[in-house]
Amino acid sequence: MITDYSQRLIVQEVAPRDGLQIEPKWVETADKIALIDELSLAGFSRIEAGSFVSPKAIPALRDGDEVFRGIQRQPGVIYVALIPNLKGAQRALDAGADELNLVMSASQTHNLANMRMRREQSLSGFGEIVALVRETSRETSRESSRETPVSLNGTVATTFGCPFEGVIDEDLVLQIVDAYLELGMQGITLADTTGMANPRQVYRLVQRVLAKVSPGQLTLHFHNTRGLGLSNVLAAYEAGARRFDASLGGLGGCPFAPGASGNICTEDLVNLCEEMGIATGIDLPHLLRMSRRLPALLGHEMPGQVAKAGRNSDLHPAPENLPA
Protein backbone atom coordinates (compact mmCIF):
# COMPACT_ATOMS: atom_id res chain seq x y z
CA MET A 1 0.00 0.00 0.00
CA ILE A 2 1.35 3.41 -1.02
CA THR A 3 -0.40 6.49 0.35
CA ASP A 4 -0.06 9.92 -1.22
CA TYR A 5 0.33 12.15 1.84
CA SER A 6 0.42 15.23 -0.37
CA GLN A 7 -3.38 15.19 -0.61
CA ARG A 8 -5.04 17.71 1.68
CA LEU A 9 -6.94 16.59 4.76
CA ILE A 10 -10.07 18.65 5.45
CA VAL A 11 -10.81 19.34 9.12
CA GLN A 12 -14.38 20.21 10.07
CA GLU A 13 -14.76 21.79 13.54
CA VAL A 14 -17.56 20.48 15.80
CA ALA A 15 -16.71 21.93 19.23
CA PRO A 16 -19.53 24.52 19.31
CA ARG A 17 -22.10 21.71 18.95
CA ASP A 18 -20.72 18.27 19.76
CA GLY A 19 -18.13 19.71 22.09
CA LEU A 20 -20.44 21.82 24.23
CA GLN A 21 -23.54 19.61 24.29
CA ILE A 22 -22.53 17.60 27.37
CA GLU A 23 -20.80 20.41 29.29
CA PRO A 24 -22.39 20.75 32.75
CA LYS A 25 -21.51 24.44 32.95
CA TRP A 26 -23.73 26.77 30.93
CA VAL A 27 -21.76 28.67 28.31
CA GLU A 28 -23.24 32.09 27.66
CA THR A 29 -24.61 32.78 24.19
CA ALA A 30 -22.12 35.62 23.68
CA ASP A 31 -19.25 33.24 24.53
CA LYS A 32 -20.52 30.65 22.06
CA ILE A 33 -20.71 33.31 19.35
CA ALA A 34 -17.21 34.56 20.18
CA LEU A 35 -15.87 30.97 20.01
CA ILE A 36 -17.40 30.41 16.57
CA ASP A 37 -16.24 33.80 15.30
CA GLU A 38 -12.67 33.01 16.31
CA LEU A 39 -12.83 29.52 14.81
CA SER A 40 -14.08 31.12 11.59
CA LEU A 41 -10.68 32.80 11.23
CA ALA A 42 -8.64 29.60 11.68
CA GLY A 43 -9.04 28.11 8.19
CA PHE A 44 -11.99 25.72 8.55
CA SER A 45 -14.34 25.09 5.63
CA ARG A 46 -17.15 23.87 7.90
CA ILE A 47 -18.07 24.62 11.50
CA GLU A 48 -20.88 22.80 13.26
CA ALA A 49 -22.18 25.84 15.08
CA GLY A 50 -25.11 24.37 17.03
CA SER A 51 -28.16 22.16 17.05
CA PHE A 52 -31.91 22.59 17.01
CA VAL A 53 -33.01 19.82 19.30
CA SER A 54 -35.44 19.98 22.21
CA PRO A 55 -34.11 22.25 24.99
CA LYS A 56 -35.20 19.56 27.44
CA ALA A 57 -33.00 16.98 25.71
CA ILE A 58 -29.90 19.17 25.24
CA PRO A 59 -30.25 22.24 27.49
CA ALA A 60 -26.65 23.31 26.87
CA LEU A 61 -27.58 24.23 23.26
CA ARG A 62 -31.01 25.73 23.79
CA ASP A 63 -29.84 29.07 22.33
CA GLY A 64 -29.15 27.76 18.83
CA ASP A 65 -31.34 30.37 17.13
CA GLU A 66 -29.53 33.25 18.84
CA VAL A 67 -26.12 31.75 18.11
CA PHE A 68 -26.72 31.33 14.39
CA ARG A 69 -28.14 34.84 14.08
CA GLY A 70 -25.28 36.38 16.06
CA ILE A 71 -22.18 34.92 14.41
CA GLN A 72 -20.02 36.89 11.98
CA ARG A 73 -20.03 34.71 8.88
CA GLN A 74 -16.81 34.42 6.94
CA PRO A 75 -16.68 33.83 3.18
CA GLY A 76 -16.03 30.20 2.31
CA VAL A 77 -17.12 28.86 5.71
CA ILE A 78 -20.24 26.66 5.88
CA TYR A 79 -22.10 26.87 9.19
CA VAL A 80 -23.73 23.54 9.99
CA ALA A 81 -26.67 22.75 12.28
CA LEU A 82 -27.53 19.33 13.66
CA ILE A 83 -31.28 18.70 13.52
CA PRO A 84 -33.45 15.83 14.81
CA ASN A 85 -36.79 16.44 13.09
CA LEU A 86 -38.91 18.66 10.84
CA LYS A 87 -39.46 21.29 13.52
CA GLY A 88 -35.73 21.55 14.14
CA ALA A 89 -35.10 21.81 10.40
CA GLN A 90 -37.48 24.75 10.08
CA ARG A 91 -35.83 26.52 13.00
CA ALA A 92 -32.38 25.95 11.49
CA LEU A 93 -33.48 27.28 8.10
CA ASP A 94 -35.06 30.34 9.71
CA ALA A 95 -31.82 30.99 11.62
CA GLY A 96 -29.74 30.82 8.43
CA ALA A 97 -27.91 27.48 8.70
CA ASP A 98 -25.96 26.64 5.53
CA GLU A 99 -26.09 22.89 6.00
CA LEU A 100 -28.35 20.56 7.97
CA ASN A 101 -26.81 17.46 9.52
CA LEU A 102 -29.35 14.66 9.98
CA VAL A 103 -28.44 11.80 12.30
CA MET A 104 -29.66 8.24 12.56
CA SER A 105 -27.96 5.38 14.38
CA ALA A 106 -27.09 2.10 12.72
CA SER A 107 -27.94 0.58 16.10
CA GLN A 108 -31.68 0.33 16.65
CA THR A 109 -31.22 0.50 20.43
CA HIS A 110 -29.07 3.63 20.24
CA ASN A 111 -31.50 5.28 17.84
CA LEU A 112 -34.32 4.66 20.32
CA ALA A 113 -32.20 6.11 23.14
CA ASN A 114 -30.88 9.06 21.12
CA MET A 115 -33.78 9.95 18.81
CA ARG A 116 -36.68 8.29 20.66
CA MET A 117 -37.74 6.47 17.49
CA ARG A 118 -36.90 3.47 15.34
CA ARG A 119 -34.62 3.75 12.30
CA GLU A 120 -37.50 3.45 9.85
CA GLN A 121 -39.27 6.35 11.59
CA SER A 122 -36.11 8.44 11.35
CA LEU A 123 -35.83 7.81 7.60
CA SER A 124 -39.46 8.70 7.07
CA GLY A 125 -38.93 11.98 8.88
CA PHE A 126 -35.81 12.70 6.85
CA GLY A 127 -37.89 12.50 3.68
CA GLU A 128 -40.06 15.33 5.00
CA ILE A 129 -36.98 17.38 5.85
CA VAL A 130 -35.50 16.88 2.38
CA ALA A 131 -38.77 18.10 0.84
CA LEU A 132 -38.77 21.15 3.12
CA VAL A 133 -35.17 22.05 2.26
CA ARG A 134 -35.81 21.69 -1.47
CA GLU A 135 -38.85 23.96 -1.31
CA THR A 136 -37.00 26.50 0.85
CA SER A 137 -34.05 26.49 -1.55
CA ARG A 138 -36.38 27.14 -4.49
CA GLU A 139 -38.00 30.06 -2.68
CA THR A 140 -34.71 31.65 -1.61
CA SER A 141 -33.28 31.15 -5.09
CA ARG A 142 -36.19 33.11 -6.57
CA GLU A 143 -35.64 35.84 -4.00
CA SER A 144 -31.84 35.78 -4.60
CA SER A 145 -31.32 36.02 -0.84
CA ARG A 146 -28.93 33.06 -0.69
CA GLU A 147 -26.03 32.49 -3.05
CA THR A 148 -26.07 28.69 -2.63
CA PRO A 149 -28.85 26.30 -1.59
CA VAL A 150 -28.90 24.67 1.83
CA SER A 151 -27.09 21.32 1.72
CA LEU A 152 -27.94 18.12 3.55
CA ASN A 153 -25.59 15.68 5.29
CA GLY A 154 -26.63 12.29 6.63
CA THR A 155 -24.73 10.92 9.63
CA VAL A 156 -24.69 7.23 10.49
CA ALA A 157 -24.13 7.15 14.26
CA THR A 158 -22.65 4.05 15.95
CA THR A 159 -21.20 3.01 12.57
CA PHE A 160 -18.31 1.09 14.11
CA GLY A 161 -19.97 -0.28 17.23
CA CYS A 162 -22.74 0.31 19.78
CA PRO A 163 -22.43 0.27 23.58
CA PHE A 164 -25.78 -1.57 23.75
CA GLU A 165 -25.63 -3.93 20.75
CA GLY A 166 -21.89 -4.34 20.20
CA VAL A 167 -20.63 -5.05 16.67
CA ILE A 168 -22.59 -3.39 13.84
CA ASP A 169 -23.15 -5.21 10.56
CA GLU A 170 -21.23 -3.36 7.83
CA ASP A 171 -23.88 -4.27 5.26
CA LEU A 172 -26.46 -2.48 7.40
CA VAL A 173 -24.29 0.64 7.40
CA LEU A 174 -24.06 0.47 3.61
CA GLN A 175 -27.84 0.12 3.38
CA ILE A 176 -28.26 3.30 5.42
CA VAL A 177 -25.75 5.10 3.18
CA ASP A 178 -27.79 4.00 0.16
CA ALA A 179 -30.99 5.24 1.80
CA TYR A 180 -29.41 8.63 2.50
CA LEU A 181 -28.23 8.95 -1.09
CA GLU A 182 -31.65 7.96 -2.43
CA LEU A 183 -33.19 10.72 -0.30
CA GLY A 184 -30.87 13.21 -2.01
CA MET A 185 -28.34 13.96 0.71
CA GLN A 186 -25.14 15.48 -0.63
CA GLY A 187 -22.86 14.30 2.19
CA ILE A 188 -22.39 11.20 4.34
CA THR A 189 -20.73 11.01 7.76
CA LEU A 190 -19.66 7.76 9.38
CA ALA A 191 -19.59 8.38 13.13
CA ASP A 192 -17.75 6.34 15.74
CA THR A 193 -20.08 7.61 18.43
CA THR A 194 -18.47 5.86 21.39
CA GLY A 195 -14.93 5.30 20.16
CA MET A 196 -15.27 1.59 19.40
CA ALA A 197 -13.55 1.60 15.98
CA ASN A 198 -10.18 0.09 15.19
CA PRO A 199 -7.92 0.95 12.23
CA ARG A 200 -8.41 -2.31 10.28
CA GLN A 201 -12.18 -2.03 10.57
CA VAL A 202 -12.06 1.63 9.55
CA TYR A 203 -9.89 0.98 6.50
CA ARG A 204 -12.18 -1.79 5.26
CA LEU A 205 -15.47 0.09 5.71
CA VAL A 206 -14.18 3.38 4.28
CA GLN A 207 -13.10 1.56 1.13
CA ARG A 208 -16.58 0.04 0.80
CA VAL A 209 -18.35 3.37 1.26
CA LEU A 210 -16.00 5.14 -1.18
CA ALA A 211 -17.28 2.73 -3.83
CA LYS A 212 -20.58 4.62 -3.48
CA VAL A 213 -19.52 8.24 -2.83
CA SER A 214 -16.59 10.50 -3.65
CA PRO A 215 -13.99 11.51 -1.03
CA GLY A 216 -15.51 15.00 -1.12
CA GLN A 217 -18.86 13.59 0.04
CA LEU A 218 -17.57 11.47 2.91
CA THR A 219 -16.71 12.64 6.43
CA LEU A 220 -15.35 10.51 9.28
CA HIS A 221 -16.28 11.39 12.86
CA PHE A 222 -14.10 9.67 15.45
CA HIS A 223 -14.02 9.75 19.23
CA ASN A 224 -10.88 9.09 21.25
CA THR A 225 -12.70 7.13 23.94
CA ARG A 226 -10.22 4.25 23.86
CA GLY A 227 -7.20 6.14 22.59
CA LEU A 228 -7.48 5.10 18.93
CA GLY A 229 -8.88 8.30 17.46
CA LEU A 230 -5.85 9.53 15.51
CA SER A 231 -4.89 5.98 14.48
CA ASN A 232 -8.36 5.65 12.97
CA VAL A 233 -7.93 8.96 11.14
CA LEU A 234 -4.75 7.68 9.49
CA ALA A 235 -6.42 4.39 8.55
CA ALA A 236 -9.33 6.26 6.96
CA TYR A 237 -6.98 8.66 5.16
CA GLU A 238 -4.96 5.76 3.79
CA ALA A 239 -8.22 4.17 2.59
CA GLY A 240 -9.04 7.35 0.65
CA ALA A 241 -11.08 9.50 3.05
CA ARG A 242 -10.16 13.17 3.15
CA ARG A 243 -12.71 14.88 5.45
CA PHE A 244 -12.74 14.55 9.25
CA ASP A 245 -14.65 16.07 12.14
CA ALA A 246 -12.66 17.19 15.17
CA SER A 247 -13.31 19.22 18.29
CA LEU A 248 -11.17 21.96 19.80
CA GLY A 249 -9.51 20.73 22.98
CA GLY A 250 -10.95 17.24 22.45
CA LEU A 251 -14.31 18.34 23.86
CA GLY A 252 -17.50 16.40 23.43
CA GLY A 253 -19.32 13.13 23.61
CA CYS A 254 -22.80 11.70 23.14
CA PRO A 255 -25.14 12.26 26.13
CA PHE A 256 -27.10 9.12 25.21
CA ALA A 257 -24.24 6.63 25.05
CA PRO A 258 -22.38 5.28 28.11
CA GLY A 259 -18.67 6.09 28.11
CA ALA A 260 -18.75 8.35 25.05
CA SER A 261 -15.88 10.64 25.93
CA GLY A 262 -14.55 13.39 23.73
CA ASN A 263 -14.05 13.73 20.02
CA ILE A 264 -10.59 13.61 18.49
CA CYS A 265 -8.84 16.85 19.37
CA THR A 266 -8.59 19.37 16.53
CA GLU A 267 -5.20 20.77 17.41
CA ASP A 268 -3.78 17.27 17.97
CA LEU A 269 -5.05 16.21 14.55
CA VAL A 270 -3.66 19.30 12.83
CA ASN A 271 -0.34 18.79 14.61
CA LEU A 272 -0.21 15.16 13.42
CA CYS A 273 -0.83 16.33 9.85
CA GLU A 274 1.89 18.97 10.06
CA GLU A 275 4.39 16.43 11.39
CA MET A 276 3.57 14.10 8.48
CA GLY A 277 3.52 16.80 5.81
CA ILE A 278 -0.24 16.56 5.21
CA ALA A 279 -1.72 19.97 4.42
CA THR A 280 -4.84 21.14 6.27
CA GLY A 281 -4.91 24.90 5.78
CA ILE A 282 -5.59 25.28 9.52
CA ASP A 283 -3.70 27.78 11.66
CA LEU A 284 -2.28 25.57 14.44
CA PRO A 285 -0.84 28.37 16.65
CA HIS A 286 -4.28 30.04 16.50
CA LEU A 287 -5.93 26.79 17.65
CA LEU A 288 -3.46 26.29 20.47
CA ARG A 289 -4.14 29.78 21.82
CA MET A 290 -7.88 29.06 21.73
CA SER A 291 -7.55 25.64 23.33
CA ARG A 292 -5.45 26.98 26.19
CA ARG A 293 -8.25 29.40 27.05
CA LEU A 294 -10.94 26.70 27.23
CA PRO A 295 -10.28 25.64 30.86
CA ALA A 296 -11.11 29.15 32.05
CA LEU A 297 -14.33 29.12 30.01
CA LEU A 298 -15.51 25.64 30.99
CA GLY A 299 -13.98 25.14 34.42
CA HIS A 300 -11.95 21.99 33.74
CA GLU A 301 -8.89 20.77 31.90
CA MET A 302 -9.04 19.63 28.28
CA PRO A 303 -8.05 16.13 27.11
CA GLY A 304 -6.01 17.46 24.16
CA GLN A 305 -2.26 16.82 24.34
CA VAL A 306 -0.45 19.32 22.12
CA ALA A 307 -1.85 22.33 23.97
CA LYS A 308 -0.17 20.94 27.11
CA ALA A 309 3.08 19.63 25.66
CA GLY A 310 3.60 22.11 22.84
CA ARG A 311 4.70 21.29 19.30
CA ASN A 312 7.92 19.45 18.50
CA SER A 313 9.29 22.72 17.19
CA ASP A 314 8.71 24.48 20.53
CA LEU A 315 12.26 23.95 21.80
CA HIS A 316 13.49 24.72 25.30
CA PRO A 317 16.77 26.21 26.52
CA ALA A 318 19.44 23.66 27.33
CA PRO A 319 19.90 22.98 31.06
CA GLU A 320 22.57 25.06 32.74
CA ASN A 321 25.92 23.55 33.80
CA LEU A 322 25.98 20.78 31.21
CA PRO A 323 29.21 18.74 31.22
CA ALA A 324 31.78 19.97 28.70
3-state secondary structure 217-282: HEEEECECCCCCHHHHHHHHHHCCCCEEEEEHHHCCCCCCCCCCCCECEHHHHHHHHHHHCCCCCC
* Percent of the chain surpassing pLDDT 70: 94
Cβ neighbours for 212, distance < 8 A, ≥ 6 positions apart = 174, 177, 178, 181
Q: Per-domain residue ranges for the chain?
A: 10-305
* Percent of the chain surpassing pLDDT 90: 84
Q: pLDDT at position 298, please? A: 95
Whether 13 shows a pLDDT value over 90: the answer reads yes
Whether 143 shows a pLDDT value over 60: the answer reads no
Mean pLDDT across the stretch 39-67? Answer: 95
Instruction: Please report which confidence band the pLDDT of residue 147 belongs to, taking 50, 70 and 90 as the band edges.
Output: low
**Mean of the per-residue pLDDT values of the chain:** 93
From 162, 254, 265, 273, active-site residue: 254
Q: pLDDT at position 254, please? A: 64
Least confident span in 137-146, 159-168, 295-304: 137-146
Quick: pLDDT tens for 206-237. Answer: 999 999 999 999 999 999 999 999 999 999 99
Contact between 229 and 222 under an 8 Å Cβ cutoff? The reply is: yes
Instruction: Please report which confidence band the pLDDT of residue 172 belongs to, taking 50, 70 and 90 as the band edges.
Output: very high
254 catalytic, yes or no?
A: yes
Q: pLDDT at position 260, please? A: 57
pTM: 0.94
Cβ neighbours for 96, distance < 8 A, ≥ 6 positions apart = 68, 69, 79
Least confident span in 89-93, 147-151, 165-169, 202-206: 147-151
Under CATH, which architecture does the 10-305 domain have?
A: Alpha-Beta Barrel (3.20)
Quick: pLDDT tens for 262-299. Answer: 899 999 999 999 999 999 999 999 999 999 999 999 99
Cβ neighbours for 170, distance < 8 A, ≥ 6 positions apart = 204, 205, 208
